């Protein structure tokens, strides 16, 4: 055995050591040729330039637990890692840097040069999150690491674009889209988040009716800066107040123009004044009214959210929010602003850039989702199981009313759309109102490879939404687009579990299911486990702005990766958010130390150097508990209750093993103890430790591997590493009958319960420390020969077994499972104190008895309750009844 261990576990040295050994020995490789049952997970690819946060820790620890457990069940495991190019996020980081360091925009560099810069940035920062995952202990097959911009992967993107285009599902059109004025690109509906605006204003203004002297129409709006784009006002056709106005015109104040009054059902007569100004270029609903009424569309914004020439010279170049104030002032000056009210509404924000998006008409590529029916059915009938189950509904609802997906982005970093326009017609083609495979002529080329005479063509400049690459992840990481099949895919697809956050159920999960059916003809994964979101103590989301997001690497440094993993999982209720508190991690660290020290204690007892004698009841008991633990873990894992698994492991070790078993076993290591007894106990300790390390390994891989090697368990099993050792089917201790086990468990439970009562007695007389305590036990007809262990556990100098013991009046006594336990206190007898204590206990017991009696006295109960419940009540009645009698007697004896 190795040198004596230090008092506290040192994760900083141990953890990286084992990680390197695992990697060097190729332990994480998914064997596509193996003949074991396959188990696979694809990692939700983090942003390539991202940094690990607690959400990642939670998510990836769960995946690691699943992967490690599967390995220890003898399966062939593939956990396939990789990263995502994260279009907008990465591009804007590099643009920011460019602006700061060189005062340049991407346009100053040009597409090619700029992309070089991004690749440089990626090379420089791209490895960080991967190395952080390694520090956490993640057992990913790094030999298969993928990146969404890898060549093979990129070809996949082109292929599916071509497939979908040819199928008629991808088309180009001029539509109202969500435009981000900061990132200067279109966004999908999913990338827009609604944020309530507390300080918004509702402006009431009036437009004059054309051709009438002094007639005005009142209109309420939140966006006076779009007045210049108004091309109509609208009222509800049923609204009698304005019935005569429909068909007439009103005067737009600036630039002054006559605009028609139209009727539309969409108008809510109750809202504001019941009159809506219609700005088809800047509002989705207005756009539709515009189309229906054939209204002119005037776009008064530049792409960056400033106003353009159409807004008039005094607004040109002005920011949209400034323009709002200026427009209001102008109205006021014209006497057309009636009043301004405080108002609360919600405004769509760009998820990434965190600025209000602008509805904008522009030319974009769209996708009609494929295989939506297969996807809906798979989840509805649990071919793909969602956990927690309630996410099924969210999924079904979204799928029920999805809109076409805007897949084009006006960015450079990403997969450029594989569409070419013949040079001389490029401009004309790109301005077509709509375009799809059916309408495109030979002047448009869509293909994986560029056209042969590329110099005669112009390629579409847009790139695809990052999620358009992510939805292929489960299979595009396993085979190339040219291969029909690959060994890896054949073995590991569909994947077993997907672990992800519920916030990307639409972005990613739903779309992956569709893509799985579309290109692989089957589901991409069988189970989806949605983690909760990690929040701070005030239940706020972790965010950079709030500074409430601790760096997991700091925590690993301070407490160890195992501690962090265990603690987060123990505190993460399945399906609910996790409230993070550093105290949790401390608990994890303490647990690691506890395991370390219990192992160290074993180490200090030396080797087994005699033939083991019969196992003690305590040994049999702990083995029985271990077996219960094992089956409880099975159940918890089956339900993906990771917090429960952690709880069970923690409780077994700390409570059952350390606090009870080890303490009861210490007598076997005394100098005068029988060598066979010592040997038997050591054997039990080894057996329990060995099995427990196996069970704990998925949660705390490093410390368990360290102890596994320290105790040389690795010499007993075939593979070198615990991480690759299959948990044996056989019970921990063999040759013990079920009956022996049951008897030992019952006996030990009685002893432990009695110990607790005796400790209680000691404490209530303030004798916690005293060594000169003697207990007398009257086994009351039974027999009790465990006085030594009893004395050790209670903390007494001597325990005397004396049937029929006659205590002096006032001697404290506890009624226990093993009999009556007396605590004679020389010179300290206080009859009144004992009377008080017993009276209190009598009250408690009496209450219990009354409860049971009233139940049993109720005929409704006795006639309707099931037999076993009644029997249980009878037993309880007897138990409390005799206790009450005894207590009464004892109090009476006090005089």
Q: Which of residues 826-855 bind RNA (CB under 7 A)?
A: 848, 855
**HSE of 336, CA atoms in CB hemisphere, 13 A:** 24
The tokens for 769 are: 């420390």
The nearest distance, CB 189 to RNA, in angstroms, is: 6
Query: Rounded distance, CA 711 to CA 696, Å?
Result: 16
Three-state DSSP class for 363? strand
Q: Which stretch binds RNA (CB under 7 A): 4-12, 684-692, 810-818, 819-827?
A: 4-12
Does 593 engage in binding with RNA (CB under 7 A)?
yes
The nearest distance, CB 713 to RNA, in angstroms, is: 19
| Binders of RNA in range 377-416 (CB under 7 A) | 390, 393-394, 397-398
Question: What backbone torsions phi and psi does residue 872 show, to the nearest 5 degrees?
Answer: -60, -40
The nearest distance, CB 844 to RNA, in angstroms, is: 10
Of 144, 320, 415, 589, which one interacts with RNA (CB under 7 A)? 589
Does 90 engage in binding with RNA (CB under 7 A)?
no
Nearer to RNA by C-beta: 70 or 406? Answer: 406
What is residue 722's DSSP assignment?
G
Nearer to RNA by C-beta: 125 or 759? Answer: 759
| Binders of RNA in range 509-538 (CB under 7 A) | 537
Does 573 engage in binding with RNA (CB under 7 A)?
yes
Whole-Å CA distances, 725 to 200, 331, 368, 714: 62, 78, 48, 9
Count of other CB atoms within 10 angstroms of residue 258: 11
The nearest distance, CB 639 to RNA, in angstroms, is: 9
The nearest distance, CB 597 to RNA, in angstroms, is: 3
Nearer to RNA by C-beta: 242 or 420? Answer: 242
Query: Rounded distance, CA 223 to CA 219, Å?
Result: 11
Does 367 engage in binding with RNA (CB under 7 A)?
no
The nearest distance, CB 688 to RNA, in angstroms, is: 13
Of 96, 143, 760, 839, which one interacts with RNA (CB under 7 A)? 760
- By DSSP bridging, strand 408-409 and strand 463-464 are antiparallel
The nearest distance, CB 505 to RNA, in angstroms, is: 8
The nearest distance, CB 633 to RNA, in angstroms, is: 14
In DSSP notation, 814-856 reads EEETTEEEE---TTT--HHHHHHHHHHHHHHHHHHHHHHHHHH
Query: Rounded distance, CA 327 to CA 330, Å?
Result: 5
Nearest to 409 by CA among 82, 85, 44: 85
Q: Which stretch binds RNA (CB under 7 A): 155-163, 180-188, 323-331, 589-597?
A: 589-597
| Binders of RNA in range 474-513 (CB under 7 A) | 503
The nearest distance, CB 45 to RNA, in angstroms, is: 22
The nearest distance, CB 657 to RNA, in angstroms, is: 8
Give ∠ CA 887-893-895 in degrees, rounded to 5.
125
Does 337 engage in binding with RNA (CB under 7 A)?
no
What is residue 319's DSSP assignment?
B
Does 243 engage in binding with RNA (CB under 7 A)?
no
Residues 6+ positions from 190 with CB-CB distance below 8 Å: 467, 506, 507
CB 863 within 8 A of CB 835: no
| Binders of RNA in range 640-699 (CB under 7 A) | 641, 643-644, 647, 651, 654-655, 658-659, 662-663, 666-667, 669-670
Nearer to RNA by C-beta: 149 or 646? Answer: 646
Residues 6+ positions from 593 with CB-CB distance below 8 Å: 8, 9
Does 1 engage in binding with RNA (CB under 7 A)?
no
Question: What backbone torsions phi and psi does residue 426 show, to the nearest 5 degrees?
Answer: -55, -50
Q: What is the 3-state secondary structure (H, E, C) of 672-691?
A: CCCHHHHHHHHHHHHHHHHH
Does 271 engage in binding with RNA (CB under 7 A)?
yes
Of 23, 184, 251, 285, which one interacts with RNA (CB under 7 A)? 285
Of 574, 628, 714, 787, which one interacts with RNA (CB under 7 A)? 574
The nearest distance, CB 542 to RNA, in angstroms, is: 13
| Binders of RNA in range 124-153 (CB under 7 A) | none
The nearest distance, CB 401 to RNA, in angstroms, is: 7
Query: Rounded distance, CA 496 to CA 20, Å?
Result: 27
Nearer to RNA by C-beta: 316 or 586? Answer: 586
In the chain, count of helices (H) and strands (E)?
29, 30
Nearer to RNA by C-beta: 494 or 532? Answer: 532
Three-state DSSP class for 359? strand
In DSSP notation, 232-257 reads EEEE-TT-GGGGGGTTSEEEETTTTE
Does 276 engage in binding with RNA (CB under 7 A)?
yes
Nearer to RNA by C-beta: 8 or 377? Answer: 8
Three-state DSSP class for 358? strand
Binding pattern to RNA, positions 40-69, x when CB under 7 A?
------------------------------
Nearest to 602 by CA among 657, 647, 671, 560: 657
Does 576 engage in binding with RNA (CB under 7 A)?
yes
The nearest distance, CB 600 to RNA, in angstroms, is: 5
Of 326, 371, 608, 865, which one interacts with RNA (CB under 7 A)? 865
Binding pattern to RNA, positions 171-210, x when CB under 7 A?
------------------xx--xx-------x--------
CB 364 within 8 A of CB 177: yes
Rg, C-alpha atoms of the chain: 37
Residues 6+ positions from 243 with CB-CB distance below 8 Å: none
Query: Rounded distance, CA 268 to CA 274, Å?
Result: 6
Of 25, 222, 306, 308, which one interacts with RNA (CB under 7 A)? 222
Nearer to RNA by C-beta: 129 or 227? Answer: 227
Of 164, 592, 619, 696, which one interacts with RNA (CB under 7 A)? 592
Nearest to 284 by CA among 202, 364, 225, 361: 361
The nearest distance, CB 264 to RNA, in angstroms, is: 9
Run of H or E including 490? helix 487-492
Burial class (CB in 10 A: 0-12, 13-18, 19+), 545: exposed
Does 885 engage in binding with RNA (CB under 7 A)?
no
Whole-Å CA distances, 661 to 656, 714, 738: 6, 25, 20
Nearer to RNA by C-beta: 587 or 886? Answer: 587
Binding pattern to RNA, positions 765-804, x when CB under 7 A?
-x-xx-------------------------x---------
Does 291 engage in binding with RNA (CB under 7 A)?
no
Does 590 engage in binding with RNA (CB under 7 A)?
yes
């Amino acid at each position: 055995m190795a040198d004596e261990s230090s008092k506290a576990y040192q994760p900083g040295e141990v953890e990286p050591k084992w990680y390197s050994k695992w990697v060097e020995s190729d332990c994480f490789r998914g064997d596509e040729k193996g003949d074991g049952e396959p188990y696979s997970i694809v990692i939700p690819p983090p942003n390539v330039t991202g940094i690990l946060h607690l959400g990642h820790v939670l998510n990836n620890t769960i995946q690691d637990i699943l992967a490690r457990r599967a390995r220890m069940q003898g399966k062939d495991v593939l956990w396939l890692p990789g990263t995502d190019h994260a279009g907008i996020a990465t591009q804007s980081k590099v643009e920011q840097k460019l602006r700061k360091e060189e005062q340049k925009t991407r346009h100053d560099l040009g597409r090619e040069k700029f992309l070089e810069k991004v690749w440089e940035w990626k090379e420089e920062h791209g490895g960080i999150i991967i190395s952080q995952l390694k520090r956490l202990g993640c057992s990913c097959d790094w030999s298969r690491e993928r990146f969404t911009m890898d060549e093979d992967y990129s070809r996949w993107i082109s292929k599916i674009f071509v497939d979908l285009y040819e199928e008629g599902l991808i088309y180009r059109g001029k539509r109202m889209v969500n435009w981000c004025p900061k990132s200067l690109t279109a966004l999908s509906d999913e990338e827009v988040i609604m944020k309530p605006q507390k300080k918004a204003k509702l402006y009431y203004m009036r437009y004059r009716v054309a051709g009438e002297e002094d007639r005005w129409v009142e209109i309420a709006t939140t966006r006076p800066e779009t007045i210049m784009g108004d091309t109509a006002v609208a009222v509800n056709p049923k609204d009698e107040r304005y019935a005569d106005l429909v068909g007439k015109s009103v005067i737009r104040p600036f630039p002054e123009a006559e605009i028609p009054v139209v009727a539309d059902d969409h108008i809510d007569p109750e809202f504001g004044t019941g009159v809506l100004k219609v700005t088809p270029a800047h509002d989705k609903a207005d756009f539709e009214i515009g189309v229906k009424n054939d209204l002119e569309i005037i776009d008064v914004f530049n792409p960056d959210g400033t106003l353009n020439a159409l807004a008039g010279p005094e607004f040109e170049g002005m920011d949209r929010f400034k323009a709002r104030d200026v427009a209001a002032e102008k109205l006021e000056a014209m006497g057309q602003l009636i009043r301004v009210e405080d108002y609360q509404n919600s405004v769509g924000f760009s998820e990434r850039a965190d600025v209000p998006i602008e509805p904008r008409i522009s030319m974009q590529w769209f996708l009609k989702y494929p295989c939506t029916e297969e996807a809906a059915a798979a989840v509805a009938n649990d071919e793909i199981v969602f956990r927690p189950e309630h996410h099924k509904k969210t999924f079904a609802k979204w799928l029920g009313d999805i809109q076409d997906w805007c897949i084009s982005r006006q960015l450079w970093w990403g997969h450029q759309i594989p569409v070419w326009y013949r040079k001389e017609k490029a401009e004309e083609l790109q301005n077509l109102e709509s375009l799809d495979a059916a309408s495109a002529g030979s002047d448009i080329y869509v293909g994986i490879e560029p056209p042969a005479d590329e110099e005669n063509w112009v390629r579409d400049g847009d790139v695809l939404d990052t999620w358009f690459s992510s939805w292929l992840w489960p299979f595009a990481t396993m085979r190339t687009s040219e291969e029909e099949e690959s060994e890896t895919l054949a073995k590991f697809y569909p994947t077993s579990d997907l672990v992800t956050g519920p916030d990307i159920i639409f972005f990613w999960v739903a779309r992956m299911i569709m893509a799985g059916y579309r290109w692989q003809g089957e589901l991409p994964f069988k189970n989806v486990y949605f983690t909760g979101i990690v929040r701070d103590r005030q239940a706020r989301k972790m965010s950079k702005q709030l500074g409430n997001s601790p760096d997991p690497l700091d925590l690993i440094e301070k407490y160890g990766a195992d501690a962090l993993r265990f603690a987060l999982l123990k505190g993460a209720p399945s399906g609910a958010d996790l409230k993070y508190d550093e105290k949790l991690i401390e608990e994890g660290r303490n647990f690691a130390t506890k395991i370390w020290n219990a192992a160290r204690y074993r180490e200090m007892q030396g080797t087994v150097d005699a033939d083991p004698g019969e196992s003690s009841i305590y040994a049999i008991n702990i083995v029985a508990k271990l077996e219960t633990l094992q089956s409880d873990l099975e159940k918890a894992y089956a339900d993906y209750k990771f917090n429960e698994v952690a709880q069970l492991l923690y409780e077994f070790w700390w409570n059952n093993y350390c606090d009870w078993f080890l303490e009861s076993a210490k007598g076997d290591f005394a100098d005068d103890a029988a060598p066979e007894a010592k040997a038997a106990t050591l054997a039990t300790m080894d057996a329990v430790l060995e099995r427990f390390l196996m069970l704990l390994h998925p949660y705390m891989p490093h410390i368990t591997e360290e102890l596994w090697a320290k105790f040389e368990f690795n010499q007993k099993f075939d593979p070198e590493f615990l991480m690759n050792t299959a948990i044996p089917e056989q019970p921990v201790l063999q040759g013990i009958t079920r009956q022996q086990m049951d008897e030992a468990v019952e006996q030990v439970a009685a002893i432990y319960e009695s110990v607790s009562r005796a400790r209680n007695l000691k404490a209530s007389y303030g004798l916690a420390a005293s060594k000169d305590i003697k207990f007398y036990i009257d086994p009351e007809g039974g027999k009790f020969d465990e006085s030594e262990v009893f004395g050790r556990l209670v903390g007494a100098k001597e325990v005397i077994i004396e049937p029929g013991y006659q205590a002096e009046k006032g001697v404290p006594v506890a009624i226990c499972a093993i009999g009556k336990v007396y605590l004679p206190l020389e010179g300290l007898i206080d009859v009144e104190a004992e009377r008080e204590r017993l009276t209190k206990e009598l009250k408690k017991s009496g209450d219990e008895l009354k409860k049971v009696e009233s139940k049993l006295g109720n005929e409704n109960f006795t006639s309707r309750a099931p037999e076993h419940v009644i029997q249980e009540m009878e037993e309880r009645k007897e138990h409390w009844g005799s206790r009450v009698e005894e207590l009464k007697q004892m109090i009476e004896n006090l005089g």
